[in-house]
Amino acid sequence: MRDPRFALEPLGKQHHRAAFSCGVAALDRYLQEQAGQEMRRHVAVVYVLVELSTAAIAGFYTLSATGIDVGALPEDFTRRLPRYPRLPAALIGRLAVDRGFRGQGIGKGLLLDALARSYHLSRRIGALAVVVDAKDDAARRFYEHFGFRRLADDANRLFLEMATVAGLDLPEPS
C-alpha cells in the first residue's frame, strides 16, 4: 500500500496493539493477544499498517501457507492440475481495519498488498491460489468483489487463482 501517511511492516514489539478495534472481537483479540506468538512460532506473518503521525495501527493482515483439498475446488479449475489430494496455497488468515480508519480504502490496500506478497512468494515456493477465511457475510462479499470464489467445503473459505493474481496491476511489496 503506497500512501505517505502510512507504513506497512511486520508486527513488532514497538507496535501499540491495545487500542486497535475493528468491531470484531475475535480479530481485535487476535492482534492484541495472539499475533505476536504466531510470529515468534512462524505460524503466520502479521503485517500492520501504521499511521506515521500517531503510531496507531490502521489495519493488519496475516499470511501463512496452507493446503486446499482438491475436492473443494471447482472442476473447471482442477482438470488441468496434478491429481494430488491437497494443493499448495497462500492463506490470508485475517484482515481487519480499525474503525477509525474505515472508508479510506485501507481494506482494499491491505488486500492488494497481501495478494502481491502471495504472488511473489508463489514464484519461489509454489502456490496455485490465495485462500481467505471470511469472518462473516460482509467479509465474504468484500472478497467476492475482488474475484474470490467459494470453496465447496466452506461457504466462508474462498480462493483466487494465482494466475488471476498475476494478471492484476499489483505494486511490488514493500
Q: What is the pLDDT of residue 63?
A: 97
Residue 174 located in a structural domain = no
137 φ, ψ to 5°? -65, -40
Residue 116 located in a structural domain = yes
Q: What is the pLDDT of residue 174?
A: 63
Lowest mean pLDDT among 33-37, 103-107, 158-162, 166-170: 166-170
60 φ, ψ to 5°? -155, 165
Q: Is 26 helix (H, G, I), strand (E, B) or coil?
A: helix
Residue 93 located in a structural domain = yes
Q: Which helix (H) or strand (E) element contains residue 62?
A: strand 57-69
Please report, for residues 17, 34, 93, the alpha-carbon distance to residue 125 in angstroms, rounded to integers and kept in the order given. Answer: 31, 26, 18
Domain extent, residue 32, equals 6-166
Q: Mind listing the pLDDT tens digit for each residue in 52-71?
A: 999 999 999 999 999 999 98
Residue 141 located in a structural domain = yes
Q: What is the Cα–Cα distance from 158 to 77, expressed in whole angstroms?
A: 13
Residue 1 located in a structural domain = no
Residue 171 located in a structural domain = no
pTM: 0.93
CATH number of the domain encompassing residue 109: 3.40.630.30
Q: Is 172 helix (H, G, I), strand (E, B) or coil?
A: coil
Residue 124 located in a structural domain = yes
Residue 75 reports pLDDT greater than 90: no
Q: What is the Cα–Cα distance from 62 to 75, expressed in whole angstroms?
A: 28
Total number of domains constituting the chain = 1
Residue 51 located in a structural domain = yes
Residue 69 pairs in a beta bridge with 86
Q: What is the pLDDT of residue 64?
A: 97
Q: What is the pLDDT of residue 169?
A: 82
Lowest mean pLDDT among 52-56, 128-132, 135-139: 135-139
**pLDDT confidence bin for 80, thresholds 50/70/90:** confident
